[in-house]
Homo-oligomer: A and B are copies of this chain.
Amino acid sequence: MSKSEHTRSALLQSATRQFGEFGYSNASLRKIAGQAGVDVALISRYFGGKLGLFNASLKECLNWPELLDPANDPIETAIEKFTDPTSEDHKFSTTRMIILNADDPIVGERVRVALFDKLIDPLEARMDGAHVKERLAMFIAVIVGASITRYSLQVPGMASADAKMHSRQLRHLIDAALSFKC
């Protein structure tokens, strides 16, 4: 790994944390560079600017090839990815990255398009039964709502629940979402 690749990836990792924690507009390039131990000007050099850095970070976040693998159940894969149990801190999960930036006046549109291209459309293509669109939307709503309730709002009934209990809550709601009949 060359020197430039090293700083590039350090920048990308730091950016993903900051964008995921504070959102695009609240994240500062100087803080991103500082956390990566690198000069601010290098961001423009390697990514062309703040927008380019965000795009690179977004692309990395939403790269979920497992979703396309026929060997995997799409819903189970999505649950694993969304709840992201490997991440050390859910503050920096992909779910948060999406939610926090979906309304941004600058990158919101981009985030939504990427979300559809990389996640929602592939998921929809692999679901069957009646009312796929409606059930999928309800599934997304449950995942997103649970994430916000647990980590952003910190409502005790979810925030203080242990992993097992939270998993039961999630499964119960997901089952309801997927079994919806108009």
Contacts and interface: CB of A to CB of B under 8 A. Distances in A.
Per assembly, the copies of the chain total 2
16 contacts: A25-B26, A98-B153, A99-B152, A102-B148, A103-B152, A112-B153, A134-B161, A134-B169, A135-B157, A137-B156, A138-B146, A138-B172, A141-B158, A145-B146, A175-B176, A176-B176
Interface in A126-156: 132-138, 140-146, 148-150, 152-156
Contacts of A105: 22, 26
A75 interface: no
Contacts of A134: 157-158, 161, 165, 169
A173 B173 CA distance: 7
A74 interface: no
A100 interface: yes
Main secondary structure of the interface of A (DSSP, over half): helix
B153 A115 contact: yes
A79 interface: no
B152 A137 contact: no
A182 interface: yes
Interface in A98-133: 98-100, 102-105, 112, 115, 120, 132-133
Interface of A: 21-23, 25-26, 98-100, 102-105, 112, 115, 120, 132-138, 140-146, 148-150, 152-159, 161, 165, 168-169, 172-173, 175-177, 180, 182
